[in-house]
Amino acid sequence: KKEKTLGMIKPDAVSKMGSILDLIYASGMKITKLKMCHLNRNEAFEFYQEHQGKPFLDNLLSYITSGPVIAFELMGEGTVGRWRELLGPTDSAVARKENPTSIRARFGKDKTMNACHGSDGVATAARELEFFFPSVGPSRKNTAK
Ligand code: CMP
Protein backbone atom coordinates (compact mmCIF):
# COMPACT_ATOMS: atom_id res chain seq x y z
CA LYS A 1 0.00 0.00 0.00
CA LYS A 2 1.21 3.48 -0.85
CA GLU A 3 2.16 5.31 2.34
CA LYS A 4 3.75 8.53 3.53
CA THR A 5 6.16 8.80 6.43
CA LEU A 6 8.22 11.45 8.18
CA GLY A 7 11.97 11.11 8.24
CA MET A 8 14.32 13.38 10.13
CA ILE A 9 18.10 13.70 10.08
CA LYS A 10 19.12 14.60 13.64
CA PRO A 11 21.75 17.24 14.53
CA ASP A 12 24.70 14.81 14.78
CA ALA A 13 24.08 13.50 11.26
CA VAL A 14 23.24 16.67 9.33
CA SER A 15 26.82 16.72 7.98
CA LYS A 16 26.14 13.21 6.55
CA MET A 17 22.97 14.24 4.74
CA GLY A 18 24.47 13.64 1.28
CA SER A 19 25.18 9.98 2.04
CA ILE A 20 21.82 9.53 3.80
CA LEU A 21 19.84 11.00 0.89
CA ASP A 22 21.82 8.77 -1.52
CA LEU A 23 20.73 5.70 0.48
CA ILE A 24 17.10 6.82 0.35
CA TYR A 25 17.20 7.31 -3.43
CA ALA A 26 18.97 3.96 -3.89
CA SER A 27 16.16 2.28 -1.92
CA GLY A 28 13.57 3.54 -4.38
CA MET A 29 11.66 5.70 -1.88
CA LYS A 30 10.68 9.15 -3.09
CA ILE A 31 11.39 12.36 -1.14
CA THR A 32 8.33 14.56 -1.71
CA LYS A 33 9.00 17.38 0.82
CA LEU A 34 12.13 18.47 2.69
CA LYS A 35 13.27 21.28 4.96
CA MET A 36 15.95 22.21 7.46
CA CYS A 37 14.92 23.85 10.74
CA HIS A 38 16.17 24.34 14.28
CA LEU A 39 13.52 23.27 16.81
CA ASN A 40 13.11 25.09 20.11
CA ARG A 41 12.38 23.17 23.32
CA ASN A 42 8.58 23.63 23.14
CA GLU A 43 8.50 22.40 19.57
CA ALA A 44 10.70 19.41 20.41
CA PHE A 45 8.43 18.56 23.36
CA GLU A 46 5.39 18.67 21.07
CA PHE A 47 7.14 16.49 18.48
CA TYR A 48 8.16 13.89 21.10
CA GLN A 49 4.91 14.08 23.13
CA GLU A 50 4.56 10.27 23.21
CA HIS A 51 7.78 10.14 25.27
CA GLN A 52 6.42 12.32 28.11
CA GLY A 53 7.47 10.79 31.42
CA LYS A 54 10.28 8.67 29.93
CA PRO A 55 13.64 8.92 31.75
CA PHE A 56 15.48 9.81 28.55
CA LEU A 57 13.14 12.67 27.49
CA ASP A 58 15.29 15.48 28.89
CA ASN A 59 18.44 14.23 27.12
CA LEU A 60 16.48 13.69 23.95
CA LEU A 61 15.10 17.26 23.98
CA SER A 62 18.54 18.78 24.66
CA TYR A 63 20.05 16.77 21.84
CA ILE A 64 17.35 17.40 19.24
CA THR A 65 17.46 21.17 19.92
CA SER A 66 21.29 21.30 19.85
CA GLY A 67 21.40 22.15 16.14
CA PRO A 68 19.33 22.08 12.97
CA VAL A 69 17.52 18.98 11.76
CA ILE A 70 16.42 18.03 8.24
CA ALA A 71 12.82 16.81 8.02
CA PHE A 72 11.40 15.11 4.94
CA GLU A 73 8.33 13.32 3.65
CA LEU A 74 8.86 9.93 2.03
CA MET A 75 6.29 8.33 -0.23
CA GLY A 76 5.94 4.85 -1.70
CA GLU A 77 4.87 1.27 -1.16
CA GLY A 78 5.12 0.35 2.53
CA THR A 79 7.29 3.38 3.24
CA VAL A 80 6.72 3.46 7.02
CA GLY A 81 8.26 0.00 7.47
CA ARG A 82 10.85 0.35 4.71
CA TRP A 83 12.26 3.57 6.20
CA ARG A 84 12.47 1.97 9.67
CA GLU A 85 14.20 -1.05 8.14
CA LEU A 86 16.75 1.24 6.45
CA LEU A 87 17.27 3.00 9.83
CA GLY A 88 17.98 -0.20 11.79
CA PRO A 89 17.60 -0.62 15.59
CA THR A 90 17.17 2.52 17.77
CA ASP A 91 20.51 2.03 19.54
CA SER A 92 23.35 2.58 17.04
CA ALA A 93 25.59 0.18 19.00
CA VAL A 94 22.95 -2.56 18.60
CA ALA A 95 22.49 -1.58 14.95
CA ARG A 96 26.21 -2.15 14.28
CA LYS A 97 25.80 -5.74 15.50
CA GLU A 98 22.39 -6.58 14.02
CA ASN A 99 22.25 -4.54 10.82
CA PRO A 100 25.71 -3.13 10.01
CA THR A 101 24.63 -1.54 6.71
CA SER A 102 21.75 0.39 8.32
CA ILE A 103 21.79 4.18 8.66
CA ARG A 104 22.01 4.10 12.46
CA ALA A 105 24.89 1.61 12.33
CA ARG A 106 26.79 3.76 9.85
CA PHE A 107 26.02 7.30 11.01
CA GLY A 108 24.80 7.12 14.64
CA LYS A 109 26.70 6.95 17.93
CA ASP A 110 24.45 5.50 20.65
CA LYS A 111 20.85 5.28 21.93
CA THR A 112 20.21 9.01 21.85
CA MET A 113 22.50 10.20 19.06
CA ASN A 114 21.16 7.75 16.52
CA ALA A 115 21.40 9.82 13.31
CA CYS A 116 17.79 9.68 12.11
CA HIS A 117 14.16 9.39 13.14
CA GLY A 118 11.31 7.57 11.46
CA SER A 119 7.59 7.54 12.30
CA ASP A 120 6.57 4.29 13.98
CA GLY A 121 3.23 3.90 12.15
CA VAL A 122 0.83 5.44 9.64
CA ALA A 123 -1.08 7.46 12.29
CA THR A 124 2.12 8.81 13.89
CA ALA A 125 3.42 9.64 10.42
CA ALA A 126 0.32 11.77 9.70
CA ARG A 127 0.80 13.72 12.96
CA GLU A 128 4.55 14.16 12.48
CA LEU A 129 4.16 15.26 8.85
CA GLU A 130 1.54 17.82 9.93
CA PHE A 131 4.01 19.08 12.57
CA PHE A 132 6.78 19.79 10.05
CA PHE A 133 4.64 20.46 6.95
CA PRO A 134 1.35 21.98 8.11
CA SER A 135 -1.46 21.72 5.59
CA VAL A 136 -3.22 24.88 6.83
CA GLY A 137 -2.05 28.28 8.05
CA PRO A 138 -0.72 31.58 6.70
CA SER A 139 2.21 30.01 4.84
CA ARG A 140 -0.30 27.93 2.83
CA LYS A 141 -2.69 30.75 1.95
CA ASN A 142 -2.73 31.58 -1.70
CA THR A 143 -2.51 35.36 -1.80
CA ALA A 144 -2.34 35.60 -5.61
CA LYS A 145 -5.14 37.64 -7.10
P1 CMP B 1 13.60 8.26 17.63
O2 CMP B 1 13.34 7.30 16.53
O3 CMP B 1 13.76 9.68 17.26
O4 CMP B 1 12.42 8.15 18.70
C5 CMP B 1 12.60 8.53 20.04
C6 CMP B 1 14.02 8.76 20.41
O7 CMP B 1 14.29 8.67 21.79
C8 CMP B 1 14.89 7.67 19.80
O9 CMP B 1 14.93 7.81 18.42
C10 CMP B 1 16.18 7.87 20.57
O11 CMP B 1 16.93 8.95 20.07
C12 CMP B 1 15.62 8.23 21.96
N13 CMP B 1 15.61 7.05 22.82
C14 CMP B 1 14.77 6.01 22.73
N15 CMP B 1 15.02 5.12 23.70
C16 CMP B 1 16.05 5.61 24.43
C17 CMP B 1 16.76 5.18 25.57
N18 CMP B 1 16.45 4.03 26.18
N19 CMP B 1 17.75 5.96 26.03
C20 CMP B 1 18.05 7.13 25.43
N21 CMP B 1 17.40 7.60 24.35
C22 CMP B 1 16.42 6.86 23.86
Distance 114 CA to ligand 1 centre (A): 8
Cα-to-chain-centroid distance, residue 23: 14
**Probe residue for ligand 1, chosen from 52, 84, 91, 111 as the CB with the greatest number of ligand atoms within 8 Å:** 111
What is the CB < 6 Å shell around ligand 1? 56, 60, 90, 111-112, 114, 117
pTM: 0.92
State the closest ligand 1 atom to the C-alpha of 63, by its place in the atom list counted from 1: 11
Domains of the chain in start order, with CATH, are 2-36+69-135 (3.30.70.141)
Residues with a catalytic annotation lie at 117
* Residue 23: φ, ψ to 5°: -65, -40
Nearest CA to ligand 1 atom 11: 112
pLDDT digits (tens, 9 = 90+) for 84-126: 999 999 999 999 999 999 999 999 999 999 999 999 999 999 9
What are the contacts of 123-130 at 24+ separation with CB within 8 A?
Answer: 124/50, 125/3, 125/4, 125/5, 125/6, 125/80, 126/4, 128/6, 128/47, 129/4, 129/5, 129/6, 129/33, 129/73
Instruction: Quote ipTM for the complex.
Output: 0.90
Return the percent helix, strand and coil in the chain, to nearest 5. Answer: 50, 20, 30
DSSP designation for 114: -
Task: Provide the annotated binding site for ATP.
Answer: 10, 56, 84, 90, 104, 114
pLDDT digits (tens, 9 = 90+) for 47-84: 999 999 999 999 999 999 999 999 999 999 999 999 99
Q: What angle do CA 42, 120, 17 make, to 5 degrees?
A: 70
